Structure 1
Amino acid sequence: MNSADGTSSRSFLLLLLILFGTLSVFFVLPFLQPVLLGGLLAYLVYPVNQRLTPRLGRTGGAAVTMLATITVIVVPLLFILSAAASQAATLLRGAKLPDTEAVDAFSQEQFGTNAPTVETLSGPVSNAVQTGIGGVVGDIGGILSGISAFLVGGFIFLFTLFFLLRDGNKFIAWLRTAVPLDTKTTDALFERTNDLLWAAVIGNVIVAAVQAILTVLGFLVIGFDNLIFWGVTTFVLSLLPVIGASVVWIPAVIYLVFVGSIPEAVGLLIYGSFIISGSDNIIRPLAMERGAKLNSGILILSIFGGVAVFGFIGLFVGPVVIGLTKTIVELLADKRADPSSS
């Protein structure tokens, strides 16, 4: 084959790659969240799978690891989320509505006798609520479609988890041979990806879990109810930069002051400041020793941007994507500075 034929063949292969690669992306996009979730969970439990594979084989080790993961992690997590949702509903039902007469009096005092009252405002609101409820109840087809989508997503999640556990090594080996990069650059990318995944998945989860447990213990001593809800809320907020557990315990301190429980409020303020929030300064550097090494502003953007694009799973995917982008730019800068390394 002469050089012209080789160039033509390569160009045609690239065209086919663009065509079929684009189609593949469109095929995966509707199920991106369960695929990403399965991949992250496979990364989390892969060390267990590595220990089981020599004894049970690749398929047996992956099956046992997947069943153990569902039993130990997924099922308890679903129960916890269900209990948290139930407790959240209890909190909403127990919330006291303001005195409508007092609200009307305040409104008229501030805005005059022509100010709208709670009764006049309740009519349009009630109609809007009834219309919304009617739409939700009437859309049986949408509900069934949602159930079907959930089942399909669950199947894809389990499929991804199992095959990444079983064939993850083969997939990584294929990537190493397929990417048109030298060995040093490929190793640097894989090492950086591993560090970013560790920081985003394991490091952040450890920090959030510790802060959630500490918050629940503090609330338990004070005598708060619905502890599962507060624990889940603290865990989720602790995954977010800047926000953290303080968004939960500081309002609790304010509430205790308003109800006259001053000693409890002072105790929670000290405990929250030094133990709950202070633990972040101790645990995060240890848990994220192999950290993302991203600027704080970029880290915040990557997390919230990831949530906006990928949903909840973007909490973990966002920093990985931004971190890899930064790494690729640095590798390109190195190659520009030292062309002989390419």
Structure 2
Amino acid sequence: MEQHSRIQLTFFISIFIGVILLAALILKPFLPTLAVAAVFAVLTYPMHTWIRERLKNEVLSAFATTVVATLVVVIPLSVIGALLMQEAQQLRSALTSEERDLVSSVVAPIESLVRQVAPSFTVDVEGFASEVARWITANIGTAFSSTAQLGLAFIVGFIAFFYFLKDGPHFVRTLINLSPLDDTYDRTILEKLANTIHSVIRGSLLIAIIQGILTSVGFLIFGLPNPILWGSIAAVGALVPGVGTAVVIVPAVIYLFVIGTLGSAIGLALWGAVVVGLVDNILMPRLLGAQARIHPLFILVSVLGGIAFFGPSGFLLGPLVLSLLYGLADIYSILFKSHIEFAADHHPEP
């Protein structure tokens, strides 16, 4: 009888694992889209709750939140992504004379200094710029390679976003019921995951995006080429501790000074220091409050690695995986400490 039960259990587990793998293969094309929709649902759920309290209708509030978030976030980011691709392809084809002068004005002094130690040292500006543009085209261009595929992903993401808002609590209860862990640990994992998502995405990534956009605006105001591309690089630089948007703004200021446009150089320097620089100090405390912050180095690596692995959606999925890792690490710490305390309490004294 016991052997028969064991055979039944083994058979059921085999079928169950097989169906899970089959379901994963079926959902594989949409998993990044579903994950991004889930992240947006977590980030906008407070807004959904606020609208629901006023409309007194779950469906209408979820739909309103989905539409607002799509208009305010998704569509503008898609437009920026398309413009970034266009500028990256132009940069990959050939550097403009202005861009060549911009980079050379900064690289030349550094190259001269290094050559005092290593005489054969040279900096291939065009090769480096071409490699950066190739990376952007290869990792982000896939999102814009097929209009039909992009449209389908948008529709699936919009619908998933709506249902994650509408039925989010039900999905959470289902996950808790299916998990073999204690419900307390399940809730702790989900709570820490949500907090880390807010910390990483609403805090660090949003601040970096805003600083990148403001850098692009500054480039437009003072007549510098390819503002979207350089603003995107500035956004990545904003994630690096001690570097920030200065990695783009300082060379641009030097370039404007070298070509003789002193007023524009001073204007861009003030724009970078006042408008772009103060964003971090003003918005970060308001967006994060007392939430724990993850080290910027890990955020930077998760963003770049996520884009390289998942494509454009990796901009959110990379930090999402990092958030999950942080949450699970905290739970592991709690479980490990509990195990040590339990062993100490029940260890027989000699």
User: Shift of residue 182 of structure 1?
Assistant: 1.3
- State the distance in 1 between where 2:174 and 2:239 align: 35
| 1:186 corresponds to | 186
- Structure 2 partner of 1:338: 341
Q: TM-score by structure 1 length?
A: 0.69
More off after superposition, 144-153 vs 197-206: 144-153
CA distance in 2, matches of 1:80, 1:172: 33
After superposing the two structures, state which structure 1 stretch, 313-322 or 292-301, moved more.
Answer: 292-301
CA shift, 1:50, in A, is: 2.4
Structure 1 51/293 Cα, relative in aligned 2: closer, same or farther at 3 Å?
closer
**Structure 1 unaligned regions, length at least 5:** 99-141
Paired position in structure 2 for 1:42? 41
Work out which of the residue numbers 320, 323, 334 in structure 2 matches 1:320. 323
Does the aligned pair in 1 maintain the 2:215–2:231 contact within 8 Å? no
- Per-residue deviation at 1:259? 0.5
CA distance in 1, matches of 2:14, 2:82: 49
3-state SS in 1 of match to 2:71: helix
Q: CA deviation at 1:62?
A: 2.4
Could you say which residue in structure 2 is the equivalent of 1:137? none
- State the distance in 2 between where 1:145 and 1:231 align: 22
Quick one: which amino acid aligns to residue 72 of structure 2?
V
Q: How does 1:154-193 map to 2 (within 5 A)?
A: 154-193=154-193
- Matched-pair contact (CA < 8 Å) for 2:200–2:293: no
**Aligned equivalent of 1:129:** none
Question: How do residues 216-295 of structure 1 correspond to structure 2 at under 5 angstroms?
Answer: 216=216, 218-219=218-219, 223-224=222-223, 229=228, 232-233=231-232, 236-238=235-237, 240-242=239-241, 244-262=244-262, 264-265=264-265, 268-269=268-269, 272=272, 276-277=276-277, 279-280=279-280, 283-284=283-284, 287-289=287-289, 291=291, 293-295=293-295
Rounded Cα–Cα distance in structure 2 between residues aligned with 1:14 and 1:32: 24
- Calculate the aligned-residue CA RMSD, in Å: 4.0
Show the counterpart of 2:97.
96
For the 8 Å contact 1:211–1:234, the answer to whether it is kept is no
- State which structure, 1 or 2, has the greater radius of gyration over its C-alpha atoms: 1
Distance 1:89 1:8, change over 3 A: closer
Counterpart of 2:20? Answer: 21
SS in 2 for 1:312: coil
- What is residue 115 of structure 2 aligned with on the other side? none
State the alpha-carbon separation in 1 of the partners of residues 335 and 276 from structure 2: 42
In the alignment, which residue of structure 2 is the partner of 1:149?
Answer: 149
Counterpart for residue 201 of structure 1: 201
Q: Which amino acid aligns with 1:95?
A: T
Cα deviations by residue, 1:202-235 (Å, 9 ceiling, x for unpaired): 11243124423543564466x2256862685256
Could you tell me how far 1:174 is from its partner in structure 2?
Answer: 0.7
Q: Percent identity?
A: 23
- 1:212/1:148 Cα in 2 relative to 1: closer, same or farther (>3 Å)? closer
Deviation of residue 172 (structure 1)? 0.6
Whether contact under 8 Å (1:306, 1:317) holds in the other structure is yes
**Offset of 1:94 from its aligned partner?**
9.0
Match of 1:101 in 2: none
| Residues 185 and 331 in structure 2, CA contact (< 8 A), matched pair in contact too | no
- The alpha-carbon deviation at position 179 of structure 1 amounts to 0.7
Bigger mean CA deviation after superposition, 70-79 or 179-188: 70-79
Partner of 2:63: 63
Distance 1:28 1:208, change over 3 A: same
For residues 153 and 174 of structure 1, what CA distance do their matches in structure 2 show? Answer: 25
- 2:195–2:291 contact (8 Å) kept in structure 1: yes
Query: 1:61 Cα deviation (Å)?
Result: 2.8
Looking at structure 1, the residues matched to 296 and 87 of structure 2 have their Cα atoms a distance apart, in angstroms, of 34
Rate the CA distance shift 1:167–1:159 in 2: closer, same or farther, 3 A. Answer: same
Contact 1:199 1:291 in 2 (8 A): yes
Give the length in aligned residue pairs.
Answer: 296
| CA–CA distance in structure 2, aligned partners of residues 179 and 248 of structure 1 | 47
Q: Displacement, 1:87?
A: 6.7
Relative to 1, partners in 2 of residues 1:209 and 1:293: Cα closer, same or farther, differing over 3 Å? Answer: closer
Q: Structure 1 residues 168, 231: closer, same or farther in 2, change over 3 A?
A: farther
Letter in 2 for 1:24: A
Distance 1:253 1:299, change over 3 A: same
